[in-house]
């Protein structure tokens, strides 16, 4: 059981009808994870839908010697929709990127909530639809643009969020490689290239100073035109079907 007032602070639960939310609050189970803990592994049977109440979770898909972040979830994010609704195992592995608290909602609880108030199904479908859109957009970013552009975009994003030129990577180089859809060796090489070009200065301990923000923004835009063109083609194809 999880307090109803606590669930209402999370965006997903706040959108649910009160009758459905009460069922979930009465039957959901709280799960706590320390940084680095595995919430579930690819192939594991789904225990239920996990909703992040606090913290941050990275969902990673591994193949051969490469790993790639599929999505990152913070408070309000959901995990495990695919196996919960369609059966089978989890398609990827989820790690707690920081101390995290989740609500575990079993499939039987979800069905009970939907039966009580069918509007619940539309809320969950909307969330699943947003997930599909996010995955398509991430695929565009990782498959249609060079790693140098993805790395520059990430660095500029860190600087813009903090309104300062000195930034920290915020994760290990291996994790950054997974975030960008590449391998650690390529990230190291691209960081060295940015330093050699005079766009970036290393300060040690994973900290960097952006020396030429204008040039770095231009680097981040590489391949963006191709990405937009493919998005338009995908919309045209969808409209024709």
- Which pLDDT score, from 0 to 100, does residue 227 have? 45
Q: What is the CATH number of domain 145-240?
A: 1.10.10.10
Phi, psi (deg, nearest 5) at residue 55: 100, -155
Q: What is the CATH number of domain 4-142?
A: 2.60.120.10
pLDDT at 226 over 80: no
Whether the Cβ atoms of residue 94 and residue 39 lie closer than 8 Å to each other: yes
Every domain of the chain with CATH number 1.10.10.10 lies at: 145-240
Torsion-angle region of residue 223: left (phi > 0), alpha (psi -120 to 50) or beta?
left
Which pTM was predicted?
Answer: 0.67
- Which pLDDT score, from 0 to 100, does residue 237 have? 44
Give Cα separations from 70 to 76, 89, 185, 222 (angstroms). Answer: 17, 16, 20, 22
Every domain of the chain with CATH number 2.60.120.10 lies at: 4-142
pLDDT at 85 over 90: no
pLDDT at 223 over 80: no
């Amino acid at each position: 059981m999880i307090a109803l007032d606590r669930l209402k602070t999370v965006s997903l639960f706040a959108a649910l009808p009160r009758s459905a939310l009460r069922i979930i609050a009465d039957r959901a189970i709280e799960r706590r994870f320390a940084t680095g803990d595995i919430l579930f592994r690819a192939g594991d049977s789904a225990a239920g839908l996990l909703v992040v109440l606090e913290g941050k979770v990275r969902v990673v898909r591994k193949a051969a010697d490469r790993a790639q972040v599929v999505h990152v979830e913070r408070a309000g994010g959901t995990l495990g929709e695919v196996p919960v609704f369609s059966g089978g195992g989890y398609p990827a592995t989820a790690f707690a990127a920081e101390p995290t608290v989740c609500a575990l909602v079993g499939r039987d609880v979800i069905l009970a909530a939907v039966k009580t108030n069918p509007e619940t199904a539309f809320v969950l479908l909307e969330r699943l639809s947003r997930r599909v859109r996010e995955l398509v957009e991430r695929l565009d970013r990782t498959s249609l643009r060079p790693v140098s552009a993805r790395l520059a975009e990430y660095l500029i994003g860190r600087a813009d969020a903090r309104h300062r030129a000195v930034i920290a990577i915020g994760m290990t180089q291996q994790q950054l490689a997974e975030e960008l859809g590449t391998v650690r060796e390529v990230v190291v090489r691209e960081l060295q290239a940015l330093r050699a070009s005079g766009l970036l200065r290393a300060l040690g301990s994973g900290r960097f100073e952006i020396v030429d923000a204008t040039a770095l923004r231009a680097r981040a835009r590489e391949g963006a035109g191709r990405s937009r063109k493919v998005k338009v083609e995908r919309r045209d194809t969808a409209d024709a079907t």
